[in-house]
Homo-oligomer: A and B are copies of this chain.
Amino acid sequence: MNVFEGYEQLKAQGKADLGSEAVLQIIKRIYERCSEYLQDKARRHLTSKVPNKEYFSFQKDGRFSRAINSRCFEHDHLKVESFWNAVGDGRLDSLQPSEITRFCYTTAISFCVVIDLERQRDQKTPGTFFEYFIGHLFARRIHVNPRKETEILNLEGGSSLPTDYVFDLGPGKAKYHVPVKTSTRERVIQVWAHQRVLDGVYGLGRFIGILVCLAETKLDKRRQEVVEICLPDQWRAYQSFIAQMKRVYYLDPPAKYLQLNATFPRIPVKPLGEFFFEIDHLPG
């Protein structure tokens, strides 16, 4: 199985049973193929315009991958593979949140980088992979598979609204609305708007909104410079006037969004690894 075959298998198995052992094994094998592929690719240091972060890029035939945060990326593939074994054995509790974030970042960005180097202008494949990847981790942790649409009742009869992932633990239990994005930029208002529709249809507080993102980097390929594109004032307006997101998890959290933990309206932004330890307390 090569990376692209693995991606097709991930989509097929993910649609059948996203939280399954089969999906875990596919993700693990995709990572192994990605790390083999990247072994002999040149790495180029990038100029970072982001305070306290350093980035590099993989190269092939003059083409550059997206920016990779040097401190988030685990170069030792054996460590990443043993992480996936731990996930399979249900031993996540034995790890630190920061380790989980690091190994998830490495797995996710390795796939994105392979697509950057092998495909032209393909944003869809990394985005879809990342959605299945996060969907699997959530389904495994919450013990329920997600839906991708939600019923909407009105007086003329029902219809259904396509949404991001919705994990529904059943009657009387928590329901999670989980949009997943490799980066947000100006499209992020959709996340709050969908949360608003769910609040309107089902009542405030019924769905717990959790946004999951990979990173907010942008690479200027000509200058080989990396910036982070963050719009914290807009996020604050959305959190004040559209709906309330309960958590935003990042694999490479931007400092400007981490600061939203401390201002009004509070938006709790955290590294993804925290999710696995606090999720049971989130409905409270």
From A42-50, A69-77, A169-177, A192-200, the one touching the partner chain is: A192-200
Closest to A152 in B: B237
Contact indicator A241/B156 (Cβ below 8 Å): no
A194 to chain B: closest residue by CB = B189
A199, closest chain B residue (CB): B241
Interface pair A161/B242, CB less than 8 Å apart: no
Query: A140 in the interface, Cβ–Cβ < 8 Å?
Result: no
Q: Assuming A161-B234, A161-B237, A240-B154, is B193 touching A189 (CB within 8 A)?
A: yes
Which range holds the interface residue count of chain A?
20 to 34
Q: Which of B187, B190, B197, B241 contacts A197 (CB 8 A)?
A: B241
Interface residues of A in 228-271 (CB under 8 A from B): 233-234, 236-238, 240-242, 263-264
Contact of A193 among B162, B196, B233 (CB under 8 A): B196
Total copies of this chain within the assembly: 2
Complex contact B190–A242 (CB within 8 A)? no
A242 and B200 contact, CB distance less than 8 A? yes
CB pair B242 A159 closer than 8 Å: no
Query: Quick check: B190 and A241 within 8 Å, CB to CB?
Result: no
A264 and B196: CB pair below 8 A? no
Cβ-closest 4 pairs across A and B = A200-B241, A193-B193, A159-B233, A197-B241
Q: How far, in angstroms, from A201 to B263 measured CA to CA in the complex? A: 18
Residue A1 interfacial (CB < 8 Å) = no
* CB neighbors of B among A116-164 (8 A): 152, 154-156, 159-162
Question: Across the interface, which residues of B come within 8 angstroms of A200, CB to CB?
Answer: 240-242
